[in-house]
Structure 1
Amino acid sequence: MFSIENNSVNAQPVGSTAQGGKSAFTDGSDFTMFLRMLTTQMQNQNPLNPVESSDFAVQLATFSGVEQQIQTNQLLGRLTDQMMFSDLANWLNKEVATDAPVRYSGAPLTLQAPAIAEATSRDLVISSIDGQELARVPASTGQGNIVIDLAHDLATPLPHGPYLFTVEDFRGNDSISTTRAVHYSPVMEVRNNNGQIVLVLEGGAQVTSTQIAGIR
């Protein structure tokens, strides 16, 4: 809005922000709005002390610069989104190593855990996703993979479903290390949650990209 005070015209500066921090000029229709504001300014100026034509030119140039900057920012935003989703697509059809819960669906599971040099024995502990221990079986202390079939390798078979796997190492009868076992799982979906990449694995487990120990 323009108002006359002390024979001068007061106007909101071109490109200033409206309430809520949103720019006053955000799309192509704003040029028409600017011309209307400029016309109103000319109609309400003091005829004895008119605004210099150079001042109008400065206002027009300022508006044009602000509008171009907005369009540039919008273009950069779209390019950034396209690049981000292109990166997200690269995760699909990959298998990632994570210690997230693993869904048992009848096939043997292959797990990995680092070897502890001083360990004389180790157990593979199977737990529910809320941490309740369900079973444990002896496992090799070497670097090789741990293969487990929950339907045949346990005294009491476990049904299909998600489980947590932990390796506990012993020296004699003393527990010296407890480590979550890692399992490779296919990536079924990739999400961008406020700039953070979230991977949805087979079985429904969700992990962030920072929780990934390997990819293949």
Structure 2
Amino acid sequence: MDFSNVTSQVTNGVAARPEASEPDSASLLATDFSNFLNLLTAQLRAQDPLSPVDSTQFVEQLASFSTVEQQINTNTKLDQIASQLGGGELDTLAQWIGKGVETRAENVNYRGGEVSFRAPDADKYDSVTATVTNAQGEEVHSFSLDKTADTHSWDGTRSDGTRALNGAYTIELRYEGGGRATRTEPASQFDTVREVRLTDDGWRLFLGNDRSIDLDEVTAIVS
């Protein structure tokens, strides 16, 4: 029993229905894929133990199996992209490229460059101090912020003047004075959007320092 032409029959069967809509074509391809699997399974069960299927032919049939599977996955992915593009999301998100976004991140990813962040309401307090700690909870650096600046940064310098190692760090802000109660909170990390990409988990924004975030992690967009 030879099924070497199953793949061509499957693809030709779909191509022979030009009047079908895109969802119908995907459904037909999925049905043909199921039939292909059933035929291949039947062949293995019915083979003569004394004269099994030639290994070369078997490998070719498995390759055909993989080709059909890839066709189905590709069609599904294209449907997802078409749905996203149809909603105008790409046009909207493309306008974010080059703009700054603010995120509430528990950790910042230091990779040798500057880590930018914001300190909301800094002008309402007498002083604001940023404290950087490493993944072990050890203080790496502490410094006062210029309350008049829109954004702030840590360049990786430690308190002793040496450079910090690459890795995850936490930046905590301490607001004091101004007739208000002292408050501490994580810094609002700030970075520029460099790329917008549709992944298996949805749209993601790719930022500096090898960071990528989901859309729901954005708390503000800054021109």
Q: Which TM-score applies when normalising by structure 2?
A: 0.48
Larger Rg: 1
Q: Higher helix fraction: Structure 1 or Structure 2?
A: 2
Higher strand share: 1
